[in-house]
Structure 1
Amino acid sequence: MPKTTDEAEQVVFGSDPATGLRSIIIIHDTTLGPALGGVRMWPYAGEAEALADGLRLARAMTLKAAAAGLGLGGGAAIVIGDPARDKSEALLRAHGRFIATLGGRFIPVNDVGTGQADIEVIGRETAPVCDNGDPSPYTALGVLESIRAGLRAARGSGELAGATVAVQGAGNVGSHLTRLLRAESADVVIADLVGERARDVAERYGARLMSPQDIVSAPCDVFAPCALGEVVTEETLPRLRCRVIAGGANNVLAEPGLADELARRGILYAPDFLANAGGLVYLEGRLLGHDDARSTARVERVGGIVAGVFERAGREHITTVEAATAIAHARLAAHSPGS
C-alpha cells in the first residue's frame, strides 16, 4: 500500500443509468484506519478533471489525518453533476449503494455540493457515514488556533485583538471563523463570490466587506482562504500583502513549489491539510462517541501541531509543507505492516 507517494490504494468508477449517477471513489491510504472523505458534487468537464480533483482531495485527507494524529485514512468521493439541477434522492441512494460495495473502507462526509441531509440519504444504503453533527465550527476553530500559532511565530505574539485577518469565503467555515475572530476583537475583512452572503456575515459580526477580486491583495496580518482551492498561484502570489496564510480551504497552493516562493517572501504558510484539520478531528470524535467538550479540547490542539511545524521548518531550513508532510509520512511509516 502507498505510504509516501501520490498513488492511491484503490480507485473505482461507478455509474447508474437509471439515476444518471457518474461517480468516482478514491481510497488513498488506509494504513491508520478506514478512509474518510468528502462527497463532492460538481459539474466537472469530464472524468479526467473529476479524478484529478479527487486524487488531490484524497491525498490531502491522508496527510491531514496522519499529521493530526488520527486513526483514519484518506479518501474522496466525486459525483459528476450540477447539485442544483442533477441531485436527487435516487441518485444519492445509488451513490450510497456504490460506497457499500467497498465494505466500510470508505466513510463519506459532506463536501462542496452536498450537505448533512444528503449524507443521511446516502446512509440509508451504506454504513458508517458521518451524518451526525456539523464539522464546520470545529474546522473554523482549528483555523483560529492555526492563525494564533502563525501570528506568534511571525511577530512573537499570538494576540488576535487588533490583528487584521482577510477571510476569503463567507460559507460555513468562513462565517464561523469570522465569528470567532471578532469575538477576540480581530479586525476582519471578508469577501465571497455570493455578495449577499458576505454582506450578511459582515453585518452580523461587524466585519468589513471587500470585493472577491481584491481580497487576495488586502493589506493584512493573516490571509485566510476558506473557499475553493488553488488560491495561491503564480499570478496571485505577487499580490499577497500578508505575513501569514492560514485558512479552511483545501489545496490552497496551485503548485507545491509555491511554498518555496512564499518562504522567500517571508510569508508564513500553515499547510492547509493541518490548518483545516479541526473538522476531521471532530468527525473522528463523533465516530468514537466523544462529546462536544472533548472534541473542542482536541481541536484546540491543532494550533500546537502547527506551531511544531513552523519550528521544524525553521530548524531544518525546509518549507512548512515539507515539514508537515514529513510528520505525516513518518507516522504512516511507523504504522505500516512490517515496521
Structure 2
Amino acid sequence: MELFKYMEMYDYEQVVFCQDKQSGLKAIIAIHDTTLGPALGGTRMWTYDSEEAALEDALRLARGMTYKNAAAGLNLGGGKTVIIGDPKKDKNEEMFRAFGRFIHGLNGRYITAEDVGTTVEDMDLIYQETPFVTGISPAFGSSGNPSPVTAYGVYRGMKAAAKEAFGTDSLEGKVIAVQGVGHVAYSLCKHLHEEGAKLIVTDINKEAVDRVVEEFGADAVDPADIYGVECDIFAPCALGAIINDDTIPQLKAKVIAGSANNQLKETRHGDAIQEMGIVYAPDYVINAGGVINVADELNGYNSERALKKVETIYDTIEKIIEISKRDQIPTYVAADRLAEERIEKMRNSRSQFLLNERHALSNRVR
C-alpha cells in the first residue's frame, strides 16, 4: 500500500503504529477527520491475514466513523483502532494498559470504545491509563450495555422510513422480517411487538429465535428464506453485505431498516433498491444510537439526555429522505452528503474565523 497516497486520496489526518514487545501489543490507530471534534471510534481486535489487511480495515472503519458521527449530529470526528491478535487467547492486562498509554499520548485527539473482539473489561484496563475512553463499567460512570439504546435508535429510524413508504409512521399491523435476533435485535423486536407489529424472524442461533417466538409471538423461518418472505419492512440485524445480486430479486419489502453494518455489498446495490422504490434507511445513520450513547459519557453520562439525542435519528432519516428526493439520489448517497455538508460548513466557519483573526492582528500591528 502507498500509505500517503491513500491518506491523501481520502483526506486522512494521522495513522499511528503502536507496539509493545513485553505485552505483544501490535495496534494501528487511524484518525480520519477531527473537523467537528476529537475522533471517536472503537478498538477492534482481530486475527488479520496480514498487517496490510489490518491497516486497510483501520482506515476504512475510521472514515466510516467520521460519516457516522457527523450524520448523528455529534461534535466528534472519526477514528478507529485495530489490534492484531486473537481476542480469545492473546489478551492480557499489560497489552491494554500499554495501549491506553499510546492513546493518552495523543492528548485527546482520539477517544476509543469497545468494538468487535474487545469488551467493557478491556476498556476498564485502558481507563487505568487514560480518560480518553468510553464504554467503561457503569461503576466508573459509564452508560453500560449499549444494545438497548442502539435498538431504540433503529426503532425510531424505522418509523421515519415507514412514514415515507406508507404515509404513517405507525408500525401497528406491519409485517417486519428481522434477520438476526442478537442483543440489539431482541430489544428492537420488543419495541416492535409493543407497537403491534407482526414479526418474522431468523437466526442461526435457535435459542435466540425460540426466545423471540415465545415472548413476542414471532414466526420463525430458515435463514435462507428471510429475504423472500411477504413483509412490509426488512430489518437486517446480523451480517453485512446482505443487499446483493442474489438477495435483491427476492425482496418484497417496501422498507429496509436494520442495525447491521455495511448492508450494501456494493454501492450499485443501493442504486438498485432505490430504482425498485424501496425506502432504505442508511445503516450507519440508523444504528448510531450506540455511539450517541457512549458519546454522552464525555459530558458526564445522563441517560435521559442521551435517549433524547437518540430519538433525533428519526429526524435525521427524514432529512436524508428529503435530500434524496431533492437531489434525485439514493438515500445512501444522501446520507454521505448530509455528513459532508456539515463537515464542510465547519471547515468554512473555521477558515473565516482564522481570516478575521489575521485581519485583526494586522490592524493591531499597524
Judge same fold: TM > 0.5, yes or no: yes
Aligned AA for 1:42?
W
Select the residue among 31, 39, 42 that pairs with 1:38. 42
- Distance, in Å, in 2 between the alignment partners of 1:53 and 1:98 is 19
In the TM superposition, what is the alpha-carbon distance from 1:5 to its structure 2 partner? 6.5
Aligned AA for 1:338?
S
Per the alignment, residue 351 of structure 2 pairs with 338
| Structure 1 residues 106-139: Cα deviation after superposition (integer angstroms, max 9, x where no partner) | 1111112222222112211222211211322221
Instruction: Decide whether the 8 Å contact of 2:280 with 2:331 is kept in 1.
Output: yes
In the TM superposition, what is the alpha-carbon distance from 1:149 to its structure 2 partner? 0.9
Per the alignment, residue 363 of structure 2 pairs with none
TM-score between both structures, scaled by the size of structure 2 = 0.85
- Name the CA shift for 1:249/1:6 in 2 (closer, same or farther; >3 Å): farther
Per the alignment, residue 264 of structure 1 pairs with 275
- For the pair 1:148 / 2:159, whether they are aligned, the reply is yes
Aligned AA for 1:169?
G
Per the alignment, residue 100 of structure 1 pairs with 104
In the TM superposition, what is the alpha-carbon distance from 1:160 to its structure 2 partner? 0.9
Superposed, which structure 2 residues align to 1:1-339 within 5 Å? Answer: 6-130=10-134, 131=136, 132-133=142-143, 134-336=145-347, 337-339=350-352
Answer with 214-223 or 127-136: which moved more: 214-223
- Name the CA shift for 1:75/1:309 in 2 (closer, same or farther; >3 Å): same
Answer with 185-194 or 134-143: which moved more: 185-194
Gap regions ≥5 residues in structure 1: none
| Structure 1 residues 29-80: Cα deviation after superposition (integer angstroms, max 9, x where no partner) | 1111111111122222222332333323222211121122111111111122
More helix by share: 2
Answer with 117-126 or 86-95: which moved more: 86-95
Structure 1 SS opposite 2:150: helix
| Structure 1 residues 257-301: Cα deviation after superposition (integer angstroms, max 9, x where no partner) | 221111112211111121112222222222112521222122111
Gap regions ≥5 residues in structure 2: 1-5, 137-141, 353-366
- Distance, in Å, in 1 between the alignment partners of 2:333 and 2:9 is 13
Instruction: Decide whether the 8 Å contact of 1:142 with 1:299 is kept in 2.
Output: yes
- Distance, in Å, in 1 between the alignment partners of 2:213 and 2:277 is 30
Per the alignment, residue 364 of structure 2 pairs with none
- Distance, in Å, in 2 between the alignment partners of 1:164 and 1:56 is 35
- Name the CA shift for 1:338/1:316 in 2 (closer, same or farther; >3 Å): same
Instruction: Decide whether the 8 Å contact of 1:218 with 1:241 is kept in 2.
Output: yes
- Distance, in Å, in 2 between the alignment partners of 1:112 and 1:47 is 18
Instruction: Decide whether the 8 Å contact of 1:233 with 1:258 is kept in 2.
Output: yes
- Name the CA shift for 1:45/1:196 in 2 (closer, same or farther; >3 Å): farther
Instruction: Decide whether the 8 Å contact of 1:145 with 1:303 is kept in 2.
Output: yes
Aligned AA for 1:11?
V
Answer with 131-140 or 80-89: which moved more: 80-89
Find the structure with the greater CA-based Rg: 2
In the TM superposition, what is the alpha-carbon distance from 1:13 to its structure 2 partner? 2.4
- Name the CA shift for 1:165/1:88 in 2 (closer, same or farther; >3 Å): farther
Answer with 264-273 or 211-220: which moved more: 211-220
TM-score between both structures, scaled by the size of structure 1 = 0.92
Instruction: Decide whether the 8 Å contact of 2:103 with 2:132 is kept in 1.
Output: no
Q: Higher relative contact order by CA 8 Å / sep ≥ 6: 1 or 2?
A: 1
In the TM superposition, what is the alpha-carbon distance from 1:25 to its structure 2 partner? 1.3
